[in-house]
A and B are shown apart, each in its own frame.
Chain A
Amino acid sequence: TAGITQAPTSQILAAGRSMTLRCTQDMRHNAMYWYRQDLGLGLRLIHYSNTAGTTGKGEVPDGYSVSRANTDDFPLTLASAVPSQTSVYFCASSDTTGADTQYFGPGTRLTVL
């Protein structure tokens, strides 16, 4: 069982370009999440999905969009990247929303120049 996989591992992106960070889980978890990790700020929730077909905004959603077409995949898209989006992005999933243990992917390190 792979758990949660993320791709790419790292990426350097020019400002203004678009990019999609991929996240796939094989645990059949209902809920999935995207966080960004910044030094001193911990992890902040960008978007979440309680179940396939639904999504919601987290604490820092501006500049990001997500979709949840099926249970396994939860891609995060940056339509027009800006340097402030330089961060490490983590995808996570849980069997139910929030109160259950969240399982994290290995992260994607994104640098926007």
Chain B
Amino acid sequence: AQRVTQPEKLLSVFKGAPVELKCNYSYSGSPELFWYVQYSRQRLQLLLRHISRESIKGFTADLNKGETSFHLKKPFAQEEDSAMYYCALSVRAAGNKLTFGGGTRVLVKP
């Protein structure tokens, strides 16, 4: 079965510093990877997906099949980036259902 691991439960950075959230997955085929974000008092929402290859709110994520990773990066963190971030995986063999990692809470300090 597929699995998603987010090794950091909490990341605390200062405003303007780079931030990288790690995500590793286990699946031998071709998965689709996503990052979802939950800001305080808001709903969980899609941040970005690897097939779009786009930058959202300054965040980027590259799928590395060799390392089975999909790390989320932003060069200059802002206070409004403070939130809970979830990496998720979808595979066609599992009916395209999402498997989520445990989540990383990001705290951006002023």
Contact = CB atoms under 8 A, between A and B. Distances in A.
A50 interface: yes
Interface string B28-63: 000010000000000111100100000000000000
A89 interface: no
B102 A40 contact: yes
B90 interface: yes
Contact of B101 (A42, A56, A90, A107): A42
Contacts, number: 55
A96 B102 CA distance: 24
Range, interface on chain B: 20 to 34
A102 B43 contact: no
A106 interface: yes
Contact of A106 (B9, B43, B94, B99): B43
Interface of B: 4, 6, 9, 32, 43-46, 49, 86, 90, 92, 94-103
Given A43-B86, A45-B98, 16 more contacts: A35-B100, A40-B103, A41-B102, A42-B86, A42-B102, A44-B100, A45-B99, A50-B95, A56-B95, A59-B99, A97-B96, A98-B96, A98-B97, A99-B32, A101-B46, A104-B44
Q: Which 5 A-B pairs have the closest CB atoms?
A: A98-B96, A42-B100, A104-B44, A97-B96, A43-B100
